[in-house]
């Protein structure tokens, strides 16, 4: 239901909410969402329908007090929103209590946006912030091999949002628009050429460079003589995930969010609210719940009767398994993300590098991790040395096994499981690229009940009545430019 009445910028639109209550949204003289100025009205029980259906007195009050931040709360829903003075929680406004399960890149991003909007946010993680998949991710921001148009657009928006967020966050920078290089040998040349042609047809920045140009872009690396072609993707970049999580979380806490360690053993999704039961018996209640638990999403969602099919196999060589190497020595002046036939690299803090060899994942078993002096470690070190301009003694590399968060159909999940549900499901294999934009869009959907167009293709309702075998896709990452 929508109703229109006078507002500060010209028009106040009343939105009656399916989950009870309603809100006023200042949409400007021509219906443009200049800044979502909202008055939130929540009602339960017999008064709920009346509150949504008859907001006349609220419209009058809003008109009379439209200049007072204490009566009208801004929700950042568009990149251009700029009413920072209204973002702090107000004691005389009914704030929404939101529980977020999972303090990885997605969870902390949603928490920050909700906290900035003035909501009461509790972030729960079974260990600590950033300790799950976020701790072992290659963290390359891109939309390189995302052929689905909706997914490509969403990833492009994620890349753009990273740049905006980096300007807003205090402290050390965690996002770097470094660009990326991919070089091919004879076996991979056609694969790279086809992707460059496809991306250029979409307007995605991609062009061919010479070995000398690539060396200047890459920094202190040697390009192998077997290289036949090199492509540069200047809009891509990378994130230092630990620093990103810590910085975003600190800003969320600065705006009033709380973060706690707790293992969730039960989730309740009822018409009057949500509940979370922790190991030990503590129960937390709220108005909404965001399930941003990565690879644990399927199990936790099932507790609320929600089906979010995920790839759950974590055995040897499974789709979820991804080995990363963290070089301790030698230091290297690496300036951008690199994808090559035998080794991928991205810069890390302190002159170090993160290494990835996709073909080695087939032999990696999380139950029996590769040793520091085994064949896998030796192969990774040898390939790294081959790219160093002055290789000396063998590189020192720490190995970590990452477990990817993979929805069964390979596509991001973002939304409520049904019109009645208060549990918002959020999981993506592209979590690092998408974290800032998903944080903003998801927070906007939760606080306004206004669907955001970029998320329309990613609702969990797509799984209803569908057999898993009809949607499941192979997500092994093996080729040049895969992740």
Give the pLDDT confidence of 407-423 residue by residue, as tens digits. Answer: 999 999 999 999 999 99
Residues 239-266: tens digit of each pLDDT = 999 999 999 999 999 999 999 999 999 9
- Cα–Cα dist 246/428, whole Å: 20
- Cα–Cα dist 37/76, whole Å: 9
Average pLDDT over residues 421-445: 97
CB burial of 279-318 (b: ≥16 within 10 Å; e: otherwise) equals eeeeebebbbbbbbbbbbbbebbebbebbbbbbeebeeeb
At 273 the three-state DSSP class reads strand
User: Which pLDDT belongs to residue 481?
Assistant: 82
pLDDT(53) > 70: no
Query: For 416, which DSSP code?
Result: E
Tell me which of 7-11, 365-369, 377-381, 447-451 is least confident: 7-11
Distances (CA, A) of 448 to 79, 142, 321: 16, 29, 38
Per this entry, what is the length of the chain? 483
Tokens describing residue 82 = 């700029």
Residues 291-330: tens digit of each pLDDT = 999 999 999 999 999 999 999 999 999 999 999 999 999 9
- pLDDT: is 7 or 135 the higher one? 135
- Cα–Cα dist 125/145, whole Å: 31
Query: For 134, which DSSP code?
Result: G
At 90 the three-state DSSP class reads coil
User: Which pLDDT belongs to residue 30?
Assistant: 30
| Residue 230: how many other CB atoms lie within 10 Å | 21
User: Which pLDDT belongs to residue 393?
Assistant: 81
**Cβ(275)–Cβ(283) below 8 Å:** yes
235 has which bridge partners? none
């Amino acid at each position: 239901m929508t109703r229109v009445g006078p507002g500060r910028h010209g028009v106040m639109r009343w939105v009656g909410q399916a989950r009870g209550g309603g809100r006023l949204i200042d949409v400007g003289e021509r219906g443009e969402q200049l800044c979502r100025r909202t008055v939130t009205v929540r009602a339960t029980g017999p008064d709920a329908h009346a509150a949504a259906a008859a907001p006349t007195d609220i419209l009058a009050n809003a008109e009379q007090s439209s200049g007072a931040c204490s009566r009208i709360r801004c929700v950042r829903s568009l990149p251009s929103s700029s009413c920072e003075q209204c973002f702090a929680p107000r004691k005389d406004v009914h704030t929404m209590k939101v529980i977020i399960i999972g303090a990885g890149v997605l969870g902390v991003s949603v928490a920050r946006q909700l906290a900035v909007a003035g909501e009461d946010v509790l972030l729960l993680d079974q260990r600590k912030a950033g300790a799950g998949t976020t701790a072992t991710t290659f963290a390359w921001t891109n939309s390189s091999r995302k052929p689905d148009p909706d997914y490509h657009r969403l990833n492009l928006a994620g890349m753009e949002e990273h740049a905006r967020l980096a300007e807003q966050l205090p402290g050390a920078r965690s996002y770097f628009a470094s660009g990326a290089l991919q070089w091919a040998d004879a076996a991979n040349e056609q694969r790279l050429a086809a992707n460059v042609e496809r991306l250029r047809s979409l307007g995605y920045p991609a062009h061919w460079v010479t070995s000398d140009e690539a060396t200047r872009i890459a920094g202190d690396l040697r390009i192998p003589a077997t290289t036949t072609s090199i492509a540069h993707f200047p809009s891509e970049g990378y994130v230092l995930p630990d620093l990103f999580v810590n910085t975003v979380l600190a800003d969320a806490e600065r705006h009033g969010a709380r973060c706690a360690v707790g293992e969730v053993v039960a989730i309740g999704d009822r018409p009057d609210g949500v509940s979370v039961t922790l190991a030990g018996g503590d129960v937390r209640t709220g108005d909404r719940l965001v399930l941003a638990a990565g690879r644990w999403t399927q199990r936790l969602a099932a507790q609320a009767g929600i089906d979010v099919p995920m790839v759950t196999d974590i055995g040897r060589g499974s789709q979820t398994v991804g080995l990363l190497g963290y070089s301790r020595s030698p230091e290297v002046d690496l300036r951008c993300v690199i994808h090559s036939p035998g080794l991928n690299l991205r810069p890390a803090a302190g002159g170090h590098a993160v290494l990835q060899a996709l073909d080695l994942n087939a032999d990696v078993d999380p139950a029996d991790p590769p040793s520091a002096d085994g064949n896998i470690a030796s192969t990774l070190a040898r390939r790294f040395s081959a790219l160093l301009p002055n290789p000396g003694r063998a590189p020192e590399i720490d190995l970590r096994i990452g477990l990817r968060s993979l929805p069964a159909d390979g596509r991001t999940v973002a939304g409520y499981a049904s019109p009645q549900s208060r549990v918002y499901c959020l999981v993506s294999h592209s979590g690092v690229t998408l974290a800032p934009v998903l944080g903003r869009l998801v927070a906007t959907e939760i606080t306004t009940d206004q669907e955001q167009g970029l998320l329309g293709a990613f609702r969990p309702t797509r799984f209803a009545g569908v057999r898993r075998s009809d949607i499941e896709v192979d997500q092994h990452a093996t080729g040049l430019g895969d992740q």
